[in-house]
Amino acid sequence: MKLEKYNQLDPLFPSSFGGVLDKFFNESFRTVQRQFSPAVDIAEDEKGFELQVAVPGMKKEDFKVDFTEGRLTVSGERKIEEKKEGKNFHNIETQYGSFSRSFYVPDNVLSDQIEAVYEDGVLKINLPKAEKKLAKASIEVK
């Protein structure tokens, strides 16, 4: 079994034409709360899974990692720096705002041993697997 990305509808792209119109008229007349989706790399080996979430410029306190009913959710917010003291930005490509990414986790993950570490702009989440118990039995031939 593998770790799969949880597909929730993207709020930035409405699923119907009516949704597009609602989004256009509702967001044109108010301030839009920015959202982004950070890049996530997922690796697996015999010991477990590792997620690497690329979110530079944040602090470990800015993250929330939850595991509920077989779903791992990573969320947080990167706030834009309001100090402009003499700076005249010509281009800003860094993504700011809130994010939330969810993943379905296989049954063999030990949920009580999940660990998260943030360093060098990458949030690393380790999800250890339960060891496979190979059943060995001697079967008597009758």
Alpha-carbon gap, residue 6 to 136, rounded angstroms: 37
List, for residues 69-120, the tens digit of each pLDDT value: 999 999 999 887 766 677 777 777 778 889 999 999 999 999 999 999 999 9
Task: Express each pLDDT in 3-60 by its tens digit.
Answer: 665 555 555 555 566 665 565 555 544 444 578 889 999 999 999 999 999 999 899 9
Closest CA to 97 of 132, 57, 131: 57
Domain 4-80+94-128 has CATH 3.40.50.1820: no
- Domain locations along the chain: 4-80+94-128
Label each residue of the chain as H, E or C: CCCEECCCCCCCCCCCHHHHHHHHHHHHCCCCCCECCCCEEEEECCCEEEEEEECCCCCHHHEEEEEECCEEEEEEEECCCCCCCCCCCCCCCCCCEEEEEEEECCCCECHHHCEEEEECCEEEEEEEECCCCCCCCCCCCC
Predicted TM-score (pTM) of the model is 0.67
Residue 93: what pLDDT?
76
Q: Is the pLDDT of residue 125 over 90?
A: yes
Which of 40, 17, 20, 7 has its CA nearest to residue 127? Answer: 40
Query: What pLDDT digit, counting tens, does each position of 28-42 carry?
Result: 444 445 788 899 999
The Cα–Cα gap between 101 and 90 comes to 30
Residues recorded for the chain: 142
